[in-house]
Chains A and B, each alone.
Chain A
Amino acid sequence: MMNETMPFTVSSFYTFLKQKKFMAVKCNECKTKILPPKPMCTNCLSTNLKWIKVNDAGKLLSYTVIHVAPEQFQSMAPYCVGIVEFEDGLRLPGMICDISPEKIKIGMRLKIDTISIDSSQWPPWGRYCFRPV
């Protein structure tokens, strides 16, 4: 019920994620699926949208190792960021946690999860990362 009333924003996306729900948006007009959520369809510009649940596991499409990190992530370097492809070609970029860089392989299964970080520079949404399945 709550799902239907949440605005189609990134803020809602994080709210769902905290509840262990990985949600994308689907256009009721042209059926395009959108991740991260946007308030308008990227294909037909319709605002007639609905929330859909997405399987939280996907495969790693590509990644890189960050050695020169922004200030708030310097204590974590070197770390990896990658693009994960979920069902129906939906993709997200993000940090890959709980695995050393040399063990990461393109095509490996990863799942999206929440992560906590102490930083006043980050919006009060929480954050996500990818972890090995």
Chain B
Amino acid sequence: MKLYDCSLITDGASCIILTSPDIAKNFTDSPVHIIGSGIASDTIGLYERDSLTSIKAAKLASKEAYKMSGVKPKDLDLAEIHDCFTIAELLAYEDLGFCKPGKSGIMIQDGETTLDGRLPVNPSGGLKSKGHPVGATGTAQAYEMYLQLTGQAENRQVIGAKIGLTHNVGGSGATASVHIYRRD
């Protein structure tokens, strides 16, 4: 792994208002709903993990979020992925069911994850291009998803986006959280 494979640890802040659909009406006419949520953990030591080429916590968390929401990977209009390192994004595609194990590289090569691809990933730029203010990154993903699903993402807007997924990882995969969002 080389310098440009790493995300930039930066300063930054983000904020979201998390509330019930009823109360949300007091703030906005266009709320975005969290329809699926999953969090899972694994050992902190990589040597104790089942696999070195998969983040089990992300697999488990996404399974839970997909089940809760009734959404399948093919239903997603976009995703914000925790690409803390180049390899992390590739593993995430496979763990989140965007493609079969070992096929994430081909998915990128074929342009499937570009802004006008089959499943746009990280229109925000992701951790590697936007920056990684560690404590703020998770809610920054939710903020980006809010902008995208309400059509306010300007030049990086995924046209007609209705359903999106965010994926956040901590401790080299010792924890992972996956959320699925839908606009009204």
Question: Interface on A for B, CB 8 Å cutoff?
Answer: 61-62, 64, 83, 91-93
Contacts and interface: CB of A to CB of B under 8 A. Distances in A.
9 contacts: A61-B47, A61-B52, A62-B52, A64-B1, A83-B46, A83-B47, A83-B52, A93-B45, A93-B47
Interface string B42-64: 00011110001000000000000
Contacts of B45: 93
B88 to A, nearest CB: 15
Interface of B: 1, 45-48, 52
B46 A93 contact: yes
A36 to B, nearest CB: 9
B5 to A, nearest CB: 12
Nearest to A93: B47
A92 B1 contact: no
A59 to B, nearest CB: 13
Most chain A CB neighbours (cut-off 10 Å) among B1, B45, B47: B47
A34 to B, nearest CB: 10
B3 to A, nearest CB: 10
Contacts of A62: 52
Contacts of A61: 47, 52
